[in-house]
Amino acid sequence: MSKTTSFLRACAAAAAVAAFLRGAPARAAEAAKLRTGVYADTGVSGGGAFEWLRIVKESPELEMVPLSAADIRAGALDGVDVLVMPGGSSPAIKRNLKPEGAGRIRDFIRGGGGYIGTCAGCCLLMETAPDPSRGIGVMPFWRSGSKGRFIMPVRLNAKGAAATGLKPGTYMLQYSHGPVLEPSTNAIEGASFEVWGDNRSDEGRYGNTPEMFGRAAIVGGTYGKGRVFATSCHPEYLESSRTLVQGAFRWAGGRDITLPPRARKPRAMTVAFYAYGPVGTDAAKAYLALLDDPEIDVVPFGGDELRKGSLDHVDAIVFPHCTNDPFSPSTAKILERFVERGGKAFAWGRGKVRLPRGGTLCGGADAAVAAVKGAAAEAARGTAGAVCHGGGVLVEYPSTGNQATEH
């Protein structure tokens, strides 16, 4: 081998080492991501679950791990740093988890895992008495009721501020039938919790619930080696309250996270994803798949948005399998007018009961995602035509009523 060849090979090796070292910080940052499990299965409902999915997906410090009850029972929490449990129905979540899944969550926290629970996700950790259908016995608190849906002022106290790294003071949070938290005199082995924030809805000015004034709204502490942030409210909903999401991860996950600001993206199609009602794993996966598409800006929608005219600001709407009952005639008429003026509607499974005339009924979640992505691609090209991809069929209402049928 000539000296020139040896020199060139040595240079190439040095360049390869340098390139490897330059990539080391990126690999270290990737490895340092908090693996965050978001429960998206029977028992959780409403837009909160979809907001959590989006928050975790978009934060550069977090790695998304969607979880079902079966995943948890099978040991998936072993590969997770923080578990997020959204709102819904704590009895339904507990039933779906089964005793094995509930035990897995207790063991996960006790062994050092972080837990963030909102609304029903908070209620799930409560003691098993006086209502054994709800709690799994991690937090010495119990639920004395729930009080409607409104924006609630919550005062973060000095202890909560110190734990979360936030400023003490009043934060405005979405409240939606969350538990009224009552501390218990019953001790839970290994549990140490305190009230970090209380409800300031005095004199009934917020939601007409003066009886909630001073009641606990945020609870935090430890169970074994694990850290818990639990609230009866929904800090994930409002842009102004997402600093509490950051504080929750700072406590439960032990590190700072960044949340990219929300803004309408300059994309070919804005899609409303109907998020009112029970959440299923196929709906969660479809929502995440649409978030990935560079031509789609997807936003969770509920019945209020439909009735208040928000459809005027989107190009399409998706009704997943988890939606249940048909709309009222007045809301159904709003959707029909949306389609008549060029809007697109897609559904699969039980979502067909809310699909307007002229919408696209698809054979499943994957087919619905393909149909929406196809429509977005056509919009990006500036072309028109059929948007029925992946096994969809157009829907017409029968003359006798408001239910959709397949043709």
List pLDDT tens digits, range 343-378: 999 999 999 999 999 999 999 999 999 999 999 999
Confidence of residue 205 (pLDDT cuts 50, 70, 90): low
74 within domain boundaries = yes
Specify whether 289 is located in the same domain as 333: yes
Are residues 321 and 356 part of one domain?
A: yes
Residue 36 has pLDDT above 50, yes or no: yes
d(CA 380, CA 376): 6
Query: What pLDDT does 400 receive?
Result: 30
Regarding whether 297 and 200 lie in a shared domain, the answer is: no
How far, in Å, CA of 310 to CA of 300, rounded? 11
Which among 94, 95, 181, 88 is positioned nearest to 141, based on CA atoms?
Answer: 181
Q: Say whether 50 sits in a helix, a strand or coil.
A: helix
Note whether residue 376 is domain-resident: yes
Instruction: With H, G, I as helix, E, B as strand and everything else as coil, classify residue 237.
Output: coil
Same domain, 156 and 111: yes
**Reported confidence tier of residue 2, pLDDT bands at 50, 70, 90:** low
* Chosen domain end from 220, 252, 284: 252
Is pLDDT of 248 > 70? yes
Asked which of 18-32, 64-78, 249-263 is least confident by mean pLDDT, the reply is 18-32
Residue 350 and residue 220 in one domain: no
- From CA 179, how far away is CA 155, in angstroms rounded? 17
Range list of β-strands (E), 189-308: 191-199, 216-223, 226-231, 269-274, 296-301
Q: Which of 399 and 63 is assigned the larger pLDDT? A: 63
Backbone angle region of 254, left / alpha / beta, with phi > 0 → left and psi within -120 to 50 → alpha: left
Quick check: is 259 in a domain? no
Please tell me whether residues 144 and 203 are part of one structural domain.
yes
Per-residue pLDDT tens for 300-334?
888 888 888 899 999 999 999 876 678 889 999 99
The residues, ordered by sequence, that sit 6+ positions from 188 with a Cβ below 8 Å of its Cβ are 127, 137, 138, 139, 140, 223
Confidence at residue 349, expressed as pLDDT on a 0 to 100 scale = 93
257 within some domain: no
Query: For residue 172, is it within any domain?
Result: yes
Q: Quick one: 295 and 397 in the same domain?
A: yes
Q: Is residue 357 one of the residues assigned to a domain?
A: yes
When divided into structural domains, the chain yields a total of 2
Check whether 184 has a pLDDT greater than 60: yes
Q: Tell me, yes or no, whether 232 and 299 share the same domain.
A: no
* Span 121-162, pLDDT tens digits: 999 999 987 778 889 999 999 887 667 778 888 999 999 999
Q: Are 37 and 77 in contact (CB under 8 A)?
A: yes
Among 117-121, 387-391, 392-396, whose mean pLDDT is lowest? 387-391
**How far is residue 105's CA from residue 303's CA, in Å, rounded to a whole number?**
33
Task: Give the whole-angstrom CA distance, residue 109 versus residue 128.
Answer: 17
CATH code, 69: 3.40.50.880
Residue type, 37: G
92 and 158 co-located in one domain: yes
Distance CA 140, CA 125 (A): 9
Q: In this structure, are 185 and 108 located in the same domain?
A: yes
- Assess if residue 10 is contained within a domain: no
Based on the domain organization, do 240 and 291 belong to the same domain?
Answer: no
So what's the pLDDT on residue 404? 33
- Per-residue pLDDT band at 192 (split at 50, 70, 90): very high
Whether residues 174 and 240 share a domain: the answer is: yes
Distance CA 244, CA 156 (A): 10
| Domain stop point among 223, 252, 281 | 252
The arithmetic mean of pLDDT across residues 47-76, rounded, is: 95
| pLDDT, average across residues 5-34 | 51
Q: pTM for this one?
A: 0.83
Question: How many whole angstroms separate alpha carbon 381 and alpha carbon 374?
Answer: 11
E strands in 224-380: 226-231, 269-274, 296-301, 316-319, 344-348, 360-362
End position of a domain, from candidates 192, 225, 252: 252
Cβ 136 vs Cβ 223: under 8 Å = no
In a domain, 103, yes or no: yes
- DSSP lists the bridge partners of residue 35 as 63
Domain span at 367: 269-406
Whole-number Å distance between alpha carbons of 334 and 318: 15
Average pLDDT of the segment spanning 61-76: 96
Q: Can you give the CATH number for the domain in which 329 is found?
A: 3.40.50.2300
pLDDT band at 57 (very low <50, low <70, confident <90, very high): very high
Average pLDDT, the chain: 84
